[in-house]
Structure 1
């Protein structure tokens, strides 16, 4: 166990608790402490503030689930590709999910969360396979640099296809544009029940593959010598990452940078052991997404600023710093 793990875990749980209370209390209307307690622990109290708190509980739970899924997805993708800046949004997986969703809206008239999730998963899986295939071409196989370039090129091409499908159809544009920004505001108990099986499956696979993924971090030759089937392991771990990302993207829209930020923060604090990085990335991803959601509500009051905008605003400069640091190390 990493020496800082217990301290980081306790601090993270405290932060998560604070974020949960903030998510329940702040919004278009700020809820006082008494109303907050009534909404949580006194179902017989039917004041407006208490009812608002009860409505926000589903959004908060949904936000935790999305943040956890994206955090673990980022950890898996970074491990599978051995790329420190791998992330669903950077590798084009989010855009692939978006393309299939907009095609589903345009050509199959889908409009419910249960329909979105299957189209988004199909798009995410196909895009991940395509990016990995392109990145594996040429000498050296799937290097980190080639995967990022393949992801960036694929994302740009798919974004153009999204616009080509959407622009001639004004009704599709109205339905899609709210989803495209990325928001947890639509989270309810129905979407939570749809999301939960995918979250459980993805998390279990991630935790079960973590010890073997540690071996891959030492290099494919060493991992093979230790009895790890590197190709099969990468396929299984990548599948779990894509399922987590695709399900979250289907229900909340393409929210970027959560996996990148959560995994880097945890790796900096507790080290490279994926047996601890994966569960802590889930916890950290939930915290980051909830902080972003609360900030979006406060900044956009009396409305709200979508959480996808806030995470992009925070994540883009951090990505630049990480890239610059990696470049300096390479030199």
Structure 2
């Protein structure tokens, strides 16, 4: 236990270092001394101080929390489905949120990013409930296989509907193009504070359910034998995934592969105990998205690319590796 706590502390320190790197590095690097000065004695007339407060700090905090939420959501899904290829996309949460935002733009016109949060949660929650209901049909009730099939079906359906609306509505396409790639640019501290309570509720709730999630990862029969009410655990886990992934999609768009890859890294380090996999996933997910966002600023010299593009570049080979290993 002491070794695992030490590893978690080292990971947390590296996360703080990555947070600082996200604030300092960019197309116009800002020395760390100026960053500290902006925090201790903010000067409204200083361009660097304004950039730090209005752009770099909100962006870094969003990357840190979103990365942790997506990774923890992926860990929960891999536990309850007992499927190494599970991720937040499995429940159609990402596509459900995207579809509702596209419908909102199509019917009501453009809105602020703040206005999209409610619709994003509505879509994410609806997708999760539909997938859970479909996966629970039949004599045996909810099973990992039925959950995967229902999630994949709803995910493809929502993605097709989203693309169909975007094809016929150019205004929605222009508004959604960058967001759908998973971007952290243009997000304000106000927007972050509006989604933060949902993210914190999901993170704290997931850690509190660590023991139950750990037991159900061993199989439903084992969990029942130990006196666990597996139906309630699955329902609670679904709600946590909606909170974690839905709030992340609302603020940053559907950033892919973080929820798939990071739990495997945590599992490689701490073993199969989800009471440790969950906090390690949160820390490593934050580090991954922070560093991916920093890398996104330098890949193309003339402009920034979305952080979601970087995570996809890293995650695609990892997905192929996992798929081949499971065949």
Whether TM-score is above 0.5 comes out as yes
* 1:116 alignment counterpart: 116
Indicate the SS of the match to 2:34: helix
Structure 1 unaligned residues grouped into runs of 5+ = none
Where has structure 1 moved over 6 Å in runs of 4 or more?
Answer: none
The question of whether the paired residues in 2 share the 8 Å contact of 1:27 and 1:301 is answered with no
Q: Which moved more, 1:7-16 or 1:57-66?
A: 7-16
Q: Does 1:84 align with 2:84?
A: yes
Question: How many Å separate the matches in 2 of 1:232 and 1:149?
Answer: 21
Structure 2 unaligned residues grouped into runs of 5+ = none
The question of whether the paired residues in 2 share the 8 Å contact of 1:110 and 1:116 is answered with no
* 1:192 alignment counterpart: 192
Deviation at 1:222, TM superposition (A): 1.9
The question of whether the paired residues in 2 share the 8 Å contact of 1:117 and 1:246 is answered with no
Name the TM-score, length of structure 2 as normaliser: 0.91
The two structures, once aligned, show a CA RMSD in angstroms of: 2.2
Indicate the SS of the match to 2:317: helix
Indicate the SS of the match to 2:209: helix
Number of equivalenced pairs: 326
User: Where do residues 1-331 of structure 1 align in structure 2 (5 Å cutoff)?
Assistant: 1=1, 4-44=3-43, 46-55=45-54, 56-109=56-109, 111-135=111-135, 143-327=143-327
Question: How many Å separate the matches in 1 of 2:182 and 2:234?
Answer: 28
The question of whether the paired residues in 1 share the 8 Å contact of 2:299 and 2:305 is answered with yes
Name the TM-score, length of structure 1 as normaliser: 0.90
> Could you list the per-position Cα deviations for residues 137-195 of structure 1 after superposition, in whole angstroms to 9, with x for gaps in the alignment?
56876554554444333322222211211222211111111211111112221111111
Question: How many Å separate the matches in 1 of 2:150 and 2:295?
Answer: 33
Deviation at 1:229, TM superposition (A): 0.6
- Indicate how the Cα distance of structure 1 residues 17 and 201 shifts in structure 2: closer, same or farther if over 3 A, else same: closer
Question: How many Å separate the matches in 2 of 1:139 and 1:203?
Answer: 33
The question of whether the paired residues in 2 share the 8 Å contact of 1:205 and 1:237 is answered with no
Deviation at 1:231, TM superposition (A): 0.4
Question: How many Å separate the matches in 1 of 2:300 and 2:136?
Answer: 44
